[in-house]
Amino acid sequence: MITILTGMKTLFKKQGVALLMVLLVLALIQGCHSRQGEVKTPESSPAGEDLLQLTPEQVAANGLVLGESFMHTFSGVVEATGQLEALPRNRAAVNAITGGVIRDLTLLPGDRVSRGQILFRIENQELLQLQEDYLTASASLAFLKDDYERQQLLAGENVAARKQFLKAESDYLSTQARVSALEARLNLLHINREALQQGRIAASVPVIAPISGFIASVSEENGVFVSPESPVLQIVETSPLMVTLQLFEKDIPLVRPGQLVRFRVPEVSSDTLEATLVTTGKVLSDLRTITVYALFTPSGNGDYLPGMFVRAYIITGSHNALALPLEALISGDEGEFVLVNSDPGQELWRLKKVRVATGMKQDNLVEILPGSLQPGDKVVVNGAFSVAQ
């Protein structure tokens, strides 16, 4: 009997030690979970508001970052899309001034040309006849002028018949008109009249660039006969450029000339460029839109070309307001909230959940309407959602 009691006593001692060990392990596990898994410690403030109390370890584990509410200029904007275009005055189709065969055409699309530069030449036998007619008419004009002045003098002294004077006057004036017309044609063809008077007859005439710019297209080649109506080259100047935007009917009252336009050309760069609105269309399209035009002067090496797609924002007004990063907002069934550190400067964070009313959202910032925050309030701007659940 004594032996049985002794054995039971030993067994109870072993089981007690084992039970104690189990309880210690459970306590350690629970302590670890309380430090790492649970990040919220509710506590009642004197005012009865619920606070979230976080240790530095919990702050680091959740990647929380504090920031300040600040004043920011929010701009009223109208979004639009469109493309870059060359100004009408900076586009030119180059035709042959007279029919003929193209010579000395060496330009390629993309080549830069300057106003007044010779682009190519036109060769035509009719040019020779034109120059001959001019020389003949010029020679006749000198004789007819002398005869007209002589007959005028005689008619004034009643020596010659008035009929002879009138004929001399008619011949002189008609030949003078013909010479003037031939001179205008020679000037149009860029034939040097002084050289022609010295006997240097040109077999071809140059075609001159009417504007400076880049060769956009070449539609003909050397040796081809072209008529004056056929364009041979297209020249486009790429500075300045127009930003043409399609604007919906509802946005028409918001825009007017002089407003700032910020836009991007996504296929070229992520840079934000600026243009000035210069005019708006006055006729609605079938899609209930109008076209508005802004002027843009590119800088750099000419990466921006007519036809490129743009995404733009027309700035219609601006105002100063309190702002926070969008990441600071916590959305819920009851509205939008932010977490404000009610005791900044202390090691232990005491976060208060504050309901806010928001306005405009722009450039990853959100407008905080008056009544909930003040400039300089310490707000969780990163990781707020993870600790507010």
Predicted confidence (pLDDT) per residue in 230-241, tens digit = 899 999 999 899
Question: Do 258 and 314 reside in the same domain of the chain?
Answer: yes
Question: Do 101 and 205 reside in the same domain of the chain?
Answer: yes
Question: Do 116 and 182 reside in the same domain of the chain?
Answer: yes
Question: Do 57 and 102 reside in the same domain of the chain?
Answer: no
Question: Do 106 and 229 reside in the same domain of the chain?
Answer: yes
User: Does some domain include residue 214?
Assistant: yes
Q: Interhelix angle for 162-188 vs 126-156, to 10°? A: 150
Specify the CATH number for the domain of residue 62: 2.40.420
Residue 71's H or E segment, with its range, is strand 70-86
Specify the CATH number for the domain of residue 311: 2.40.30.170
Question: Do 266 and 288 reside in the same domain of the chain?
Answer: yes
Question: Do 305 and 189 reside in the same domain of the chain?
Answer: no
User: Does some domain include residue 34?
Assistant: no
Radius of gyration of the chain (CA): 44
Residue ranges for the chain with pLDDT beneath 70 = 1-50, 156-161, 300-302, 388-389
Q: Which of 40, 94, 97 is nearest to 353 (CA)?
A: 40
Question: Do 128 and 197 reside in the same domain of the chain?
Answer: yes
Question: Do 102 and 221 reside in the same domain of the chain?
Answer: yes
Q: What pLDDT score does 155 carry? A: 75
Per-residue model confidence as pLDDT tens digits over 127-165: 999 999 999 999 999 899 888 888 888 876 665 567 788
Question: Do 276 and 188 reside in the same domain of the chain?
Answer: no
Domain that holds residue 56: 42-68+329-387
User: Does some domain include residue 272?
Assistant: yes
Q: What pLDDT score does 309 carry? A: 96
Q: Which two tokens stand for residue 165?
A: 């004077």
Residues 81, 210: Cα–Cα separation, whole Å: 32
User: Does some domain include residue 183?
Assistant: yes
User: Does some domain include residue 138?
Assistant: no
Q: What pLDDT score does 55 carry? A: 87
Question: Do 246 and 369 reside in the same domain of the chain?
Answer: no
User: Does some domain include residue 48?
Assistant: yes
Q: Domain count of the chain?
A: 3
Question: Do 212 and 176 reside in the same domain of the chain?
Answer: yes
Q: What pLDDT score does 53 carry? A: 85
Residue 166's H or E segment, with its range, is helix 162-188
Q: Which of 334, 328, 323, 315 is nearest to 361 (CA)?
A: 323
CA angle 70/72/75 to nearest 5° reads 160
